[in-house]
Structure 1
């Protein structure tokens, strides 16, 4: 059993428990549920830099990245740095995140927020909306075509943007449908954790132009982003590069300043 299979097996148990404790009708009564979400895809289309900065305390591949952060301060720092949006890990067991992080970030900033989660159930999308997310992530590696369709259409009906993540051409072909806004190529193999930016470059040719192209993982240099822009990428998800510093917002600001030169 690889790490992705373990995460999904645990996620099924977690969602089953949550559904028994907090019904969707309760989530729909959240103050944030009626909030009009912002479109990250629109922001990326009009952005010069396209940086989506992540809040991530730890991961299965790197273990501890930064356990001492205040998510509200990090969000504030990222927004001041001029990022296009913020990705917030809400998985507790493997990434040390929570839905509380999403709410705290939402209370601190106006920019689009992505709930970074292993979504396998419609319940998690309603949960994302109720906690202030603007965007949800779907991972093609763990979902069937039917599931991607049902989950993405629910998200669109709730006014949320959908970022679908793929790792190879097979996943891409099963996933292309009108209910997606952004296609993200993860340069990290979720089974081995190896990183290769050539995955983004190779898949760029087969992503239809109506979708915003996002490159994820392993991006740590200005040159990498400039190189990926030549392949039509407008979004760049950066996690560890900022989070491993003492002040992620400051690191993001310095990075964006150099990128804009």
Structure 2
């Protein structure tokens, strides 16, 4: 069983437990459930360089990344640095995140928030809206096309945008549908965790122009973004490169200043 399969198995158990503790009806009563979402896709199209700065405390490949990171402090600094949006990990078992991180980030910043998790159930989409997210992530490697369709349609009904994550052309071809807003190419193989920026470059021309193109993972140099922009990418999700430092917010600010000066 690879890492993605293990995560999916654990996530299904977690979601079933969560459903029993907090029913959908309770989620729908939370204040953010009726909040109008902020469009990440629009910001990526109109506000270069389109950095989506990620908050996470650990990952399977980096178990001691930044275990004591403060979500309010770091997301506030990301916003000040000029991030187009912020990705917040809410998976606890593998990434050290919680729903509280997302809710606290929502109270802290006024830019789009992506709920970064392994969505395998409609319940998690309702959770995302109730906790203050503007965007959800759907991972093609984890879902069947009919699940992607069902989940993305529900997200749209709730006012959420959808970022579809793919790793290869086969996933892309079977997963494209009108209810998707953005397509993210993950440069990390979720089965082996190896990294290769050429994954984004090779898939760029295969992504229809109506979708915002986002390159995810493995971006540590501004030169990489300049190259990816030539391939039509408008969004760049960066997490480990910032979170591995003592001051992620300052690292993000320096990165974006360097990127602007190199344009």
2:154 aligned partner = 154
2:115 aligned partner = 115
| Equivalenced residues, count | 261
CA deviation profile, 1:7-58 (whole Å, cap 9, x unmatched): 0000000011111111101100001100100010000001121100000100
**Runs of 4+, deviation exceeding 2 Å:** none
Query: SS state of the match for residue 185, structure 1?
Result: strand
2:201 aligned partner = 201
1:183 CA displacement: 0.2
TM-score, normalised via structure 1 length: 0.99
2:238 aligned partner = 238
1:167 aligned partner = 167
Query: SS state of the match for residue 94, structure 2?
Result: coil
1:63 CA displacement: 1.1
241-250 or 211-220, larger mean C-alpha shift:
241-250
Query: SS state of the match for residue 88, structure 1?
Result: strand
CA deviation profile, 1:175-204 (whole Å, cap 9, x unmatched): 110000000000000000000000000000
2:15 aligned partner = 15
TM-score, normalised via structure 2 length: 0.99
Aligned equivalents of 1:234 and 1:23: distance in 2?
A: 37
CA deviation profile, 1:52-73 (whole Å, cap 9, x unmatched): 0000100001111101211000
Q: Do 1:48 and 1:260's aligned partners in 2 also have CA atoms closer than 8 Å?
A: no
Aligned equivalents of 1:158 and 1:12: distance in 2?
A: 22
Q: What 5-or-longer segments of structure 2 have no aligned partner?
A: none
Q: Do 1:196 and 1:218's aligned partners in 2 also have CA atoms closer than 8 Å?
A: yes
Aligned equivalents of 1:144 and 1:81: distance in 2?
A: 37
Cα RMSD of the aligned pairs, angstroms, is 0.5
Query: SS state of the match for residue 14, structure 2?
Result: helix
Aligned equivalents of 1:203 and 1:255: distance in 2?
A: 25
